[in-house]
Amino acid sequence: MKLAAATVLLAGASIAAVVWYGTNDARAPELCPAGLLRLGPRCCGEGQSLDGGACRGAPSRCAATQNPSAQGCVLVGESIVLPQGRVLGVPTDWDDTSSREPPAELAAFAIDRGEVVERSYAECVAGGGCEVAPMRGEPGLPQTNVTAKQAASYCGWRGGALPSAAQFAYAAMGRQGRRYPWGDAGAVCRRVAYGLATGPCGQGATGPQLAGSHPSGATPEGILDLAGNVEEWVTSPGGFEARGGSWAEASVTALRSFSARAMPSDGRSPALGFRCVYAASGQ
């Protein structure tokens, strides 16, 4: 009887835990920085509400990396110059040290601080430099559902290009060969937008967070969201890759600095976005 009672109690606790996780945001895993509030699986600006999965209304406050606008919080856009350097030949699988990418020497370049957002892409469409692409209607969300060609067209309109795989890896890992953009450990929910669809950081998400919503996951140089939120288009010797992992990942493996997956050039996804690189002399 005691064993049966204990089993019932454990089952009840499990059900309660599920209900608690889904209804009590204040006790769910820490997700949002100062200036943003957790509403379900989203980080929205203070003063906003969640409507159909979207942050709605004019925020009174945003994260330190974002500006408030009438339509929501929008990343403060800028590019960051990285000095000439060498991409280390670190393991492509951190649990298999026999698997290594060759070192690569890189000239200095500049890279977008964050992912290209819907507001910026819409400006390119209005200016005739970009094809129309699906949007979610929040200006600060990363622009997703674009092909490699569409992403490259935007970067060209801005005077840049898509990052190479080596450039993206160098921005993420630095000269030190960091396992993640911020360091070698601590892939937790407050640093990186992942596990938002089926856990461990949230439940039921259908898209990314606002770009720049995880400032504590930045690189030492201040580059944001190189891991998580949306994976990003890069060029590679064999064609194109997606790097960085996304909000939909349930495992931290895809967030690592050298993780990549091959992508067809016409691929598109609500979990795939991009950023641009530029000649350092142009900054």
- C-alpha pair distances (Å), 38 with each of 30, 187, 270: 9, 19, 21
Residue 2 has pLDDT above 60, yes or no: no
Residue 95 has pLDDT above 70, yes or no: no
Residue identified by tokens 């309109």 is: 157
Q: Could you report the per-residue pLDDT of 99-117, keeping only the tens digit for each?
A: 456 677 999 999 999 999 9
Residue 93 has pLDDT above 60, yes or no: no
Please tell me the least confidently modeled range out of 11-20, 80-89, 109-118, 204-213. Answer: 11-20
Provide the pLDDT for residue 90: 53
Q: Is residue 63 left, alpha or beta, with left meaning phi > 0 and alpha meaning psi from -120 to 50?
A: beta
Tokens of 166: 């080596």
Question: 3-state secondary structure string, the chain?
Answer: CHHHHHHHHHHHHHHHHHHHHHHCHHHCCCCCCCCEEEECCEEEEECCEEECCEEECCCCECCCCEEEECCEEEECCCEEEECCEEECCCEEECCEEEEECCCEEECCEEEECCCCEHHHHHHHHHCCCCCCCCCCCCCCCECCCCCHHHHHHHHHHCCCECCEHHHHHHHHHCCCCCCECCECCCCCCCCCCCCCCECCCCECCCCCCCCCCCHHHCCCCCCCCCCCCCEEEEEECCEEEEECCCCCCCCHHHHCCCCEEEECCCCCCCCEECCCEEEHHHC
Q: Could you report the per-residue pLDDT of 186-245, keeping only the tens digit for each?
A: 899 999 999 999 999 999 999 999 999 999 999 999 999 999 999 999 999 989 999 999
pLDDT-derived band at 89, boundaries 50, 70, 90: low
pLDDT-derived band at 29, boundaries 50, 70, 90: confident
For the chain, the average pLDDT equals 88
pLDDT-derived band at 58, boundaries 50, 70, 90: very high
Residue 19 has pLDDT above 60, yes or no: no
Mean pLDDT over residues 62-78, rounded? 96
Tokens of 44: 């929205």
pLDDT-derived band at 28, boundaries 50, 70, 90: low
